[in-house]
């Protein structure tokens, strides 16, 4: 694919996002500012005993999140373990305990990490009633928490930050569901499959016979063609920044993404809601300039990352890449290198985790950029809801740093950023790095875990080591092996879900360790955000004075971007130097 075609596709998607920014952002603001319920919502509240007019303090709001998460985990785990006796299982057996735990935590936390192959492990009922449902509600939880933080900035002398059950319901029924239905119809029209047809064994077009002993038996060449309700799940997978694939090849599978047009539509859906939420934020706090400032900060991160990945992946440094015109290993030819890089940046800068190319096949430095996208907290524009509240946390830290430099009390939207507020913001920022680095250290030191990299990392296979002892020594010295493990824990702790495919994560250790990282990486930051929302809502906004730092001007945007990069650089540079940077320099 030419540079012109690739850049044109990027500009087309960005233009569509720009066109949708104002109407969608305005609509979401009306959804959460409205004081009336729809008829469907009223019926649902009566059935569940929810008083939609009541308000919750931050602790009650958080307990509601925890309770909903616990129930979701139990129900999804039960569906996976009982799959073999449920209808529409298509002959699939029950999911092993450790893998069921990992999968349940993964989808409930909006991570969608997959240590299984979708078409060979999951029946249709598990996909539809289990995984697809969590694609909706886990995304809705993220939006609800973001709206709660916005209310904390909006309100004055208040103990309340909203009602979780109302926010969850409105996010699902008024935002995610209508958009999903619309785009599912479009996707089916574009050729994405959506049916309840079991796997079909067909004879190939070329016919012929198998080689060797199969040929002697005269058997014809056959292929298994999977079916299933994919289009309906493909949409919410991207729209809700979930990322879990109906098929093992995820968005590179020809039945899920049959054309370059569908690939672009996937990127558009990934970025749609996160890029519109800053507009919602600006309207709800009464200053659209604040929303524009947050959006520009997000866009700056995105453009820098996209430019870096495209430059690194289109550089022809090997004979194979020179012959192909770019690094084509692990890419689909129907998409091309530049759109694949666009997809990879979009999916790692949000909490999506879907892939249309093999991230493990990217160059060492290109893979490092994808990791950094997650390490900065996936805030550009980030996951549905989680990207906005993550960026607001970075903005609060930036305000605090600027306040220290000029010797005055830091303020953000009239709310003072004191010891309590900065402690909660720091807790939010430090959780994911701690889980990433501790998990990576334990995995590299724990006996036997390195075997998960030994069997599939081509760089190690090519070294030709025969014994387990020498192979393990090679792994310890191989930067790509460290990158595989580092990427896995970075993805889990930041609720992304993408992976370097060289890691065999379907082991008891990785299933449980990554599940812990996903659960803590989701719930602890949410707890910090809600506590911060409660602390801010109690305050009386201070009037802006001549010395107040304007938080809607280019200077502030620059400080926010700089703060995001500096925090990540100071935290992750040493381990990046040992892994992907070392690999890139080699």
The per-residue pLDDT string of the chain (586 residues; one tens digit each, 9 = 90 and over) reads 678 889 999 999 999 999 999 999 999 999 999 999 999 999 999 999 999 999 999 999 999 999 999 999 999 999 999 999 999 888 889 999 999 999 999 999 999 999 888 888 899 999 999 999 999 999 999 999 999 999 999 999 999 999 999 999 999 999 999 999 999 999 999 999 999 888 888 887 765 444 444 444 445 577 888 888 999 999 999 999 999 888 888 999 999 999 999 999 999 999 999 999 999 999 999 999 999 999 999 999 999 999 999 999 888 565 555 555 566 778 888 888 999 999 999 999 999 989 999 998 898 899 999 999 999 999 999 999 999 999 999 999 999 998 888 777 788 999 999 999 999 999 999 999 999 999 999 998 876 666 666 554 433 333 333 344 444 444 455 788 889 999 999 999 999 999 987 788 889 999 999 999 999 999 999 999 999 999 999 999 887 777 677 888 999 999 999 999 888 888 899 999 988 888 888 7
Q: How far is residue 142's CA from residue 148's CA, in Å, rounded to a whole number?
A: 10
Supply the pLDDT for residue 562: 92
Task: Please give the pLDDT value at position 326.
Answer: 61
d(CA 214, CA 220): 9
Residues 6 or more apart from 251 whose CB is under 8 A from it?
Answer: 234, 238, 245, 257, 263, 266, 343, 354, 355, 356
Give the number of other Cβ atoms within 10 Å of residue 56's Cβ: 22
Q: Write the CA distances from 398 to 380, 527, 541, integer angstroms.
A: 16, 21, 19
- Cα separation of 454 and 155, whole Å? 54
Q: What is the pLDDT of residue 568?
A: 83
Phi-psi region of 234 (alpha: psi -120 to 50; beta: other; left: phi over 0): alpha
Q: Enter the pTM of the model.
A: 0.92
8 Å CB contact between 521 and 435: yes
Q: What is the pLDDT of residue 406?
A: 77
- Provide the pLDDT for residue 214: 46
Number of neighbouring beta carbons within 10 Å of residue 107:
29
CB 383 within 8 A of CB 495: yes
The candidate with the shortest Cα–Cα distance to 348, out of 165, 580, 172, is 580
Task: Determine contact, residues 222/204, Cβ cutoff 8 Å.
Answer: yes
Please report the pLDDT score of residue 101 as a whole number: 96
Instruction: Give the pLDDT score at 213.
Output: 45
Measured between its terminal Cα atoms, the distance across the chain in Å is 28
Closest alpha carbon to 17 in 277, 287, 289, 348: 277
**What are the contacts of 465-471 at 24+ separation with CB within 8 A?**
none
| Rg of the chain on CA atoms, in Å | 24
Identify the CA nearest to 310 among candidates 83, 9, 39, 78: 9
Rounded distance, CA 580 to CA 586, Å? 10
- pLDDT for 83 equals 93
CB-CB contact of 361 with 344 (8 Å): no
Q: Which residues contact 444 (CB under 8 A, 6 or more apart)?
A: 450, 476, 482, 485
Closest among 131, 172, 167, 127 to 148, alpha carbons compared: 167
């Amino acid at each position: 694919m030419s540079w012109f075609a690739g850049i044109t596709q990027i500009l087309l998607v960005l233009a569509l996002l720009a066109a949708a920014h104002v109407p969608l952002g305005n609509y979401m603001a009306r959804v959460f500012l409205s004081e009336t319920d729809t008829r469907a919502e009223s019926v649902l509240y009566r059935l569940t005993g929810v008083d939609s007019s009541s308000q919750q303090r931050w602790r009650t709001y958080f307990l509601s999140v925890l309770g909903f998460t616990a129930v979701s985990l139990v129900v999804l785990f039960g569906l996976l373990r009982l799959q073999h006796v449920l209808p529409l299982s298509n002959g699939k057996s029950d999911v092993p305990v450790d893998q069921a735990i990992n999968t349940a935590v993964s989808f409930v936390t909006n991570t969608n990490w997959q240590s299984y192959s979708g078409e060979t492990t999951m029946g249709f009922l598990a996909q539809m009633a289990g995984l697809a449902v969590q694609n909706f509600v886990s995304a809705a939880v993220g939006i609800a928490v973001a709206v709660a933080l916005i209310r904390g900035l909006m309100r004055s002398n208040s103990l309340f930050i909203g009602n979780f059950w109302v926010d969850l319901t409105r996010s699902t029924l008024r935002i995610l569901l209508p958009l999903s239905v619309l785009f599912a119809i479009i996707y089916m029209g574009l050729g994405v499959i959506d049916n309840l047809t079991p796997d079909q064994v067909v004879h190939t077009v070329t016919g012929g016979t198998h080689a060797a002993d199969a040929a002697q038996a005269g058997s014809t060449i056959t292929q298994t063609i999977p079916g299933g309700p994919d289009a309906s799940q493909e949409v919410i997978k991207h729209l809700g920044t979930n990322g879990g694939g109906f098929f093992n090849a995820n968005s590179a599978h020809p039945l899920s993404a049959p054309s370059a047009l569908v690939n672009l539509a996937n990127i558009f859906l990934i970025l749609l809601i996160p890029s519109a939420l800053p507009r919602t934020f600006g309207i709800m706090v009464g200053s659209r300039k604040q929303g524009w400032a947050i959006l520009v900060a997000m866009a700056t991160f995105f453009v820098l990352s996209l430019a870096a990945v495209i430059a690194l992946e289109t550089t022809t440094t090997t004979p194979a890449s020179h012959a192909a015109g770019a690094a084509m290993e692990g890419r689909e030819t129907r998409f091309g290198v530049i759109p694949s890089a666009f997809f990879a940046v979009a999916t790692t800068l949000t909490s999506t985790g879907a892939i249309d190319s093999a991230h493990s096949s990217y160059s060492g430095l290109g893979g490092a950029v994808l990791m950094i996208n997650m390490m900065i907290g996936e805030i550009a524009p980030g996951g549905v809801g989680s990207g906005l509240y993550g960026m607001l946390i970075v903005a609060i830290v930036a305000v605090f740093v600027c306040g220290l430099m000029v010797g005055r009390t830091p303020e953000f939207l009239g709310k003072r950023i004191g010891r309590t507020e900065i402690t909660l913001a720091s807790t939010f920022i430090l959780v994911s790095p701690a889980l990433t680095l501790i998990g990576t250290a334990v995995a590299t030191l724990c006996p036997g875990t390195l075997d998960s990299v030994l069997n599939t990392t081509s760089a190690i296979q090519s070294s030709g080591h025969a014994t387990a002892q020498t192979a393990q020594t090679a792994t310890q010295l191989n930067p790509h092996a460290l990158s595989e493990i580092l990427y896995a824990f970075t993805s889990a702790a930041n609720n992304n879900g993408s992976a370097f495919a060289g890691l065999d994560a379907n082991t008891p250790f990785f299933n449980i360790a990554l599940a812990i990282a996903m659960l803590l990486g989701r719930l602890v930051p949410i707890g910090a955000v809600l506590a911060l929302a409660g602390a801010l809502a109690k305050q009386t906004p201070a009037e802006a004075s001549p010395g107040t730092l304007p938080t809607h001007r280019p200077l502030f945007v620059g400080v926010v971007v700089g703060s995001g990069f500096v925090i990540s650089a100071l935290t992750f540079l040493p381990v990046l130097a040992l892994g992907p940077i070392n690999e890139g320099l080699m």
